A and B are shown apart, each in its own frame.
Chain A
Amino acid sequence: MQVFVPKTIAEALNILQDLREKAKIIAGGTDLIPHMRAGSIQFNSLVDIRLLKLSYIREETGYIAIGSNTTHSDILNSCIIQQNYSALHQACQQIAAPPVRNRGTIGGNLANASPAADTAPAFLVHNASVIAESTRGVKNISLDEFFRSPGKTALDPDELIVEVHIPVPEKHTSSAFVKMGKRNAMAIAVASAATQITLDSDGRISEARIALGSVAPTPIRATEAEAQLIGRLIDTQAIASIEYAVNNAARPISDIRASAEYRNQIIFILVKRALLRALEHQNAFIVSE
C-alpha cells in the first residue's frame, strides 16, 4: 500500500483530489490500522498528515483553533482546555489509555464518526465547527451538521479536516463529560453525556447544551431538553424535569456492549451527573428542600 507523506496542505489536497475514495487520511491510525488489519477496507493508499503542521492549540479572537492532528494527550496537556473546556478535557481523559491517547487525534476521532466517539459529545456542547479544506476551497461545518450516520460525515472524500474551532465561552460557563464503560479503562462508551451551561447574573440558565454519545446512530444534541432548561434556576426539580426530553432524544440500539434498554435506563443518569459536575464549578446548584 502506498503511503504519501505530503509536506504541505496543498500537496495533500491534490493527492486527495486525484485519488478520492481510493485514499484514506491517516493521522494517529488508532482506528484506521485495526480496520486495515481486519481487511475491511476499500482504499489502497494512505495520506499521512503528520508533516502538515496541524498539531496546535491556538487562541484566536473569539475562539480556540485546534489543529486536526492534535492528539488527545496534547489536549490533556493544555491549560486553556482544562480551564475553559472541561468537557473536552474530561472526554480525552477517559479515552482508552495513554498509548492510544498519545496517537489518536481529535480530527481522526471526529472524522471516524463512531457513534461512541468520546470527543464528539464534548465538542458538540462546546459549539464546535470543523474547518475542512479541499482543492475547491475551505468549508466551515458546524459540528451539529457534521455527523450523518455511523462512520459517515459531511465531508467529501477529497476533504481534509484542518482545524476544529471552539468559541471562547461566555462568563459563568462550565461544562462536563461523563462516560459509562464496561471497565475503568480501555472501554468504548456504552453511553456518554456532555453538558455545557451558562448562567446569567441571577443564576439562571441562559444557555444549555447537552450532547449524548452511543445512544443514536451519531453523537447528538438533546435540543428539547436544552430548551427546557433555559431561564430556570438550577435545582433538582429543573434537572428532573428534563428526563423525558433526554430519554426522547436517545434512540439507542442493542449491541455487543449493552442492550438498548440499558442505555435508555442510564442516559438520563449520565446527563444528570454531567450537569451536576458542570455546575460544581459554578457553585450554583441549589438543592430544593
Chain B
Amino acid sequence: MTFPIINCTINSKSIQVCVDPSRTLMDVLRTELGLTGVKEGCGQGDCGACVVIMNQRAVNSCLVLVGQIEDCEILTVEGLAQQGRLHPLQQKFAEKWAFQCGFCTPGMLMSAYALLIQNPDPSEQEIREAIAGNLCRCTNYHKVVEAVQETSQYLMANQKTIGVWYG
C-alpha cells in the first residue's frame, strides 16, 4: 500500500508526511518528526500528556490520526521558544516551579497556551477548566494556575499576545 502524502504545518514549518494514515499524530510527531516533547501517558486521551495545538485548539494528539491533519497547523511545545528565548509561559512555569517531574508539562503548557489564545484574561476557574484534561501526579496544580495567571497579566501589561510576544 502506498501512503498518501499529507501536507501540514508543524511549528511554523511546512511539512510533508508520508506514513500510514491510521497512525496517531502523537506517534508520528514523536517518531518520524523527532518531537519527543510530546509525551505518551496513556495512549487514549485520559491524561493530556500528549496535548498539542491544532488549528488554534488544544487536542489530544493520541486521539488524532495523522490522516486527519491535512492542511492543519500544529504547534507543539518545541514551537514555543523563539531564537533560544523561552516563551513567557515557559518562563513563568520555570519561575514558579509549576512542575516537578516535568512529564505532564508539555501538555500543560499547550492547554494553557490554547486557553490564552481564546481568552487572554482568564479567571482561576477558567484556567482550571482549561487544564482539567491534563493530569499531574506530582503537584496540586496550584503553581500551574498561578503561572498561567501571571503570564496573562504579563502579556496584557506589555500589550503582547500569547502568539505575538517576541520582541
Interface residues contributed by chain A, number (CB under 8 Å): 26
- Contact between A185 and B58 (Cβ–Cβ < 8 Å)? no
Q: Is B70 an interface residue (CB 8 A)?
A: yes
The CA-CA distance from A3 to B133 in the complex, in Å, is: 28
- Assuming A26-B65, A34-B45, A99-B60, is B132 touching A1 (CB within 8 A)? no
- Assuming A3-B21, A186-B132, is B67 touching A100 (CB within 8 A)? no
Which 9 pairs across A and B sit closest by C-beta, in order of nearness? A97-B133, A185-B132, A3-B67, A1-B22, A34-B44, A3-B21, A97-B132, A102-B57, A99-B58
The CA-CA distance from A28 to B65 in the complex, in Å, is: 10
- Contact between B57 and A73 (Cβ–Cβ < 8 Å)? yes
- Contact between B46 and A186 (Cβ–Cβ < 8 Å)? yes
- Across the interface, B65 reaches (CB within 8 A) one of A33, A73, A99, A186, namely A33
B60 to chain A: closest CB distance in Å? 5
B21-80 contacts to A (CB < 8 Å): 21-22, 24, 43-46, 48, 51, 54, 57-60, 62-65, 67-68, 70
Residues on A lying within 8 angstroms of B by beta carbon are 1-3, 5, 26, 28-30, 33-34, 36-37, 46, 48, 50, 73, 96-100, 102-103, 184-186
A71 to chain B: closest CB distance in Å? 9
- Contact between B43 and A37 (Cβ–Cβ < 8 Å)? yes
Q: Is B146 an interface residue (CB 8 A)?
A: no
Which residues does chain B contribute within 8 Å of A34, judged by CB atoms? 44-45, 63
Which residues does chain A contribute within 8 Å of B59, judged by CB atoms? 99, 102-103
- Contact between A33 and B62 (Cβ–Cβ < 8 Å)? yes
- Contact between A103 and B64 (Cβ–Cβ < 8 Å)? yes
Which residues does chain B contribute within 8 Å of A97, judged by CB atoms? 48, 129, 132-134
Which residues does chain A contribute within 8 Å of B21, judged by CB atoms? 1-3
Q: Is B101 an interface residue (CB 8 A)?
A: no
Q: Is B121 an interface residue (CB 8 A)?
A: no
- Contact between B44 and A102 (Cβ–Cβ < 8 Å)? no
What 10 new A-B contacts, CB under 8 Å, besides A33-B44, A96-B45, A100-B45?
A1-B21, A2-B1, A26-B65, A34-B45, A37-B43, A97-B129, A98-B129, A99-B111, A184-B132, A186-B133
